[in-house]
A and B are shown apart, each in its own frame.
Chain A
Amino acid sequence: MATIVGAATALSASKSFDSRKLHLPSRGSLSVSERKGSFLVVRSDGSVVHKAHRAQKLITNAVATKADSSAASTASKPGHELLLFEALREGLEEEMDRDPTVCVMGEDVGHYGGSYKVTKGLATKYGDLRVLDTPIAENSFTGMGIGAAMTGLRPIVEGMNMGFLLLAFNQISNNCGMLHYTSGGQFKIPIVIRGPGGVGRQLGAEHSQRLESYFQSIPGIQMVACSTPYNAKGLMKAAIRSENPVILFEHVLLYNLKERIPDEEYVCSLEEAEMVRPGEHVTILTYSRMRYHVMQAAKTLVNKGYDPEVIDIRSLKPFDLHTIGNSVKKTHRVLIVEECMRTGGIGASLTAAITENFNDYLDAPIICLSSQDVPTPYAGTLEEWTVVQPAQIVTAVEQLCQ
């Protein structure tokens, strides 16, 4: 099997790297050595570039880059090129400029610049109070964010790692989720809770959590997952502007995705799915990092004569049933590919929603490919088998379209 990395990097595409500091901090580090010889480069528009065999070369960062051929011409194109973590920061910065009540709090968000550099430089620009370095006390600083939101601020709380937010689960559930309701609508909680999650590269079980399933049953909370620099920025801005508490899921392996995004201001809808690749034969619903595994599989599928429709659902709660439904009505076949836990995960909820709403349009039972219900193993091979791989996606589509 070809080595698949979610967002593989091409060090040879030096244009993408030379001027940027891509050395991320060691916490939850992305630095790994490429495990196998050949790999794929995935662009955030979904196209896949096969790279030649690279023997034992260290890949310092997981980045999807533009193909080499396009790099030369990018300078003349409109918009500007940046990495996903920079897109998040740009969105954050624009909103902080726009609204002085927008503030950031979390561990190492200030002087250190964030463990994945999403808040780099913001403390210098906005001061230590607006970009607040907190002690390591997740439940309390999340609760503090909620109290601040209730009293007029719009805080963005960063979980250094999404898994750490388990320590803040009480505040997220009881107060973020329910307080607007229990207060009879008197207090609003316009808070954004965000951070890196998902299965990274051999980070061990606790730092490789798939937490969407944990959070999805909390009432009163919206959940979105970003997957490209474009939607990362747009969703960040939308989440900050929303009157509702929003959890923004970022993925540890996607921070260095590169994309050209518009210079003009834009905001994405928190409730809308994104059509990644229109097609006729099968609907593939995915989000976050799995989008790239799906797009790798899509390349193979196209070669095999299939025409899959790929939708990045983006809004994990609520689902965009319009976009999803239209696709189901067209293809009559659904494959869900997610990194979430299999039991009680997003895929399970999605399956239920599709069955409830569009059962008559289905020509085959829905297939849901989720990660395995195991603590994420450390060993590279085991970890790889934990999450869905492109070959499984190809097989599943072949099975669905029999």
Chain B
Amino acid sequence: MSLTTSTKFAQPLPLNTTSSRSKEHKLLFEPFRTNTFLGSTHKLRCFNSLSKSNLHRRSAIVAVSDVVKEKKSKSSTNLLITKEEGLELYEDMVLGRAFEDMCAQMYYRGKMFGFVHLYNGQEAVSTGFIKLLKQEDSVASTYRDHVHSLSKGVSARAVMSELFGKATGCCRGQGGSMHMFSKEHNVLGGFAFIGEGIPVATGAAFSSKYRREVLKEADCDHVTVAFFGDGTCNNGQFFECLNMAALWKLPIVFVVENNLWAIGMSHVRATSDPEIWKKGPAFGMPGVHVDGMDVLKVREVAKEAIGRARRGEGPTLVECETYRFRGHSLADPDELRDPAEKAHYAARDPITALKRYMIDNNLVTEQELKTIEKKIDEVVEDAVEFADESPHPPRSQLLENVFADPKGFGIGPDGRYRCEDPKFTQGTAHV
């Protein structure tokens, strides 16, 4: 597992420099001129031969991060992780996978309803980034949010229970699959519409900066990581927030989980320039492309990006090229994607890859990994049991949490605040 094979860094173009116009012009347009993508059919053909998918990325690198150069020399002598780190990553990824597999079972068994989007195949991204975060750091997710929450520390019980629509769920059963939140763990939400989580994440990063610079909390170095997919990268909120985050040097990392498909829309059919990472430099921040099926590579990039944010050096855009092993949601028959494409990525399973790396490098034994797998199976079983046995939300919960201050329900004909009416506490009032 060499670190540098498919990790590419692009540094932002110099801003506000006095360099000559012609030089800037050349820099700006070079990547586009050398892009091998010229037309939609060409793009499709190119992407079909997946082994060549890196070709088109070759020429657009503007600069290589010093950090990666440093890592490269290091990696020839040292391992990328310690045993403890490896076990932590492995456990988190196995948890993500086992949890999602269990979700599928429970969905088909009628224990959960609605749209359930599973994360299988993309675990390296969640684990690679979130396991480097502190509890105070924030994460904003999408509708595919179970595993981000788990990685961030929300218990499997709380997430499963939420999916079962039970009162013990992390959102009391009021959120559901696409709306996981945890104030304790700073999970700012699963956001179910494309792109809407990015501004919220940007706001959390703004808060960190505000606390440090306005409220003078010198030790506030909290970082926010915003996860979203390739489909989102054609949405205005993505561009608007890249601009604002770079403009104000906000401590945020934009992580694109490019799984190549937005439901049934192929990334290359939807995107004029499919190299998302290149959009970072356009806004004055580094853009990085990394193999999202390799947790160690993701982790190295994440370290650098999170470190930059924590040091107050501003945002980074990271494109993780990954793949989802299941359909868009459990309601998706997944008939459109080419079986050869699926097989190609299935062979690159991030969990298997990490396992192989650790065993090949004598970091762990098969037995140790088996122990983890067994432990996770128990955790997931326990989560299901817990969720199943948990009570449904009581009627009294219906009108709670509509307003943080229930006076928002207003004053009734009797002159008292309507929330003081016992019917409100019982949840039977008509609002």
Contacts and interface: CB of A to CB of B under 8 A. Distances in A.
Among A149, A186, A188, A321, the one with the most B-chain Cβ atoms within 10 Å of its Cβ is A186
Contact of B196 (A101, A143, A180): A143
A272 B411 contact: yes
B236 interface: yes
Contacts of A95: none
A244 B198 CA distance: 22
A170 B196 CA distance: 8
Contact of B174 (A143, A147, A184, A358): A184
B403 to A, nearest CB: 5
Interface string B179-217: 101110000110111001011111111111111011100
Contacts of B244: 134-135, 137, 140-141, 144
Nearest to B192: A174
A190 B404 contact: yes
B402 A219 contact: yes
A220 B181 contact: no
Among B214, B236, B410, B418, the one with the most A-chain Cβ atoms within 10 Å of its Cβ is B410
Contacts of B172: 184-185
Contacts of A320: 410-411
A187 interface: yes
Nearest to B409: A318
A357 B401 CA distance: 25
Contact of B400 (A149, A182, A185): A185
Interface in B399-418: 400-405, 407-415, 417-418
A171 B196 contact: yes
What interface size band does chain B fall in? Answer: 35 or more
Among B172, B198, B203, B244, the one with the most A-chain Cβ atoms within 10 Å of its Cβ is B203
Contacts of A140: 198-199, 202, 236-237, 240-241, 244
B170 A184 contact: yes
A182 B199 contact: no
B151 interface: no
Given A182-B174, A222-B408, A135 B243 contact: yes
Interface string A270-287: 111000000000000000
Interface in B164-183: 169-176, 179, 181-183
Interface of A: 100-101, 103, 127, 129-130, 134-135, 137, 139-153, 170-171, 174-175, 179-190, 219-220, 222, 242-244, 270-272, 315, 317-323, 325, 357-358
20 contacts: A100-B214, A129-B209, A130-B210, A135-B240, A137-B236, A140-B198, A140-B240, A147-B207, A179-B181, A180-B402, A181-B402, A183-B179, A185-B400, A187-B183, A190-B404, A243-B405, A244-B408, A270-B407, A318-B410, A325-B413
Given A141-B244, A144-B241, A244-B404, 16 more contacts: A100-B214, A127-B214, A140-B237, A143-B198, A146-B200, A180-B402, A181-B401, A183-B171, A183-B401, A184-B169, A185-B401, A222-B403, A272-B411, A318-B411, A321-B413, A357-B413
